[in-house]
Amino acid sequence: MASEPVRLDTWLWAARFFKTRAQAAAAIDGGKVDVNGARAKRAKPLAPGDELRIRKSPVAAALYDEAPEGKRLRERLAEQLRLAPSLRYEGKGRPTKKDRREIERLRGD
């Protein structure tokens, strides 16, 4: 029994990657969905075995198998980000009057 092809936007909505079909269509039009490594249109028929790449938060990702290569790349990137030095501001807000005076003293103002 052969399965009938399903439109890409309909499948993304039915698989609950997007809450509405319109959101799925907007993501496809915005270039956030690739089918077999190429950008696709909304009406692209999907067949079993097609590889999808969806750039979105991973809410529904637990329901599907992830390619081993993609998982390795994602884990490697997470490790690199974890080991990278933090670029966040470590201060506690505005300098106090004492801090400001110290800054002015160091600058020679």
pLDDT tens-digit readout, 73-106: 989 998 988 887 766 656 678 888 888 898 888 8
Q: From its phi and psi, is residue 31 left (phi > 0), alpha (psi between -120 and 50) or beta?
A: left
pLDDT by residue (tens digit) across 5-45?
A: 899 999 999 999 999 999 999 999 999 999 999 999 999 99
Q: How many residues does the chain have?
A: 109
Q: What is the pLDDT of residue 85?
A: 73
Tell me phi and psi for residue 14, to 5 degrees: -65, -30
User: What number is the average pLDDT over the span 46-73?
Assistant: 82
CATH topology of domain 6-82: 3.10.290
User: Which pair of tokens denotes residue 40?
Assistant: 């696709």
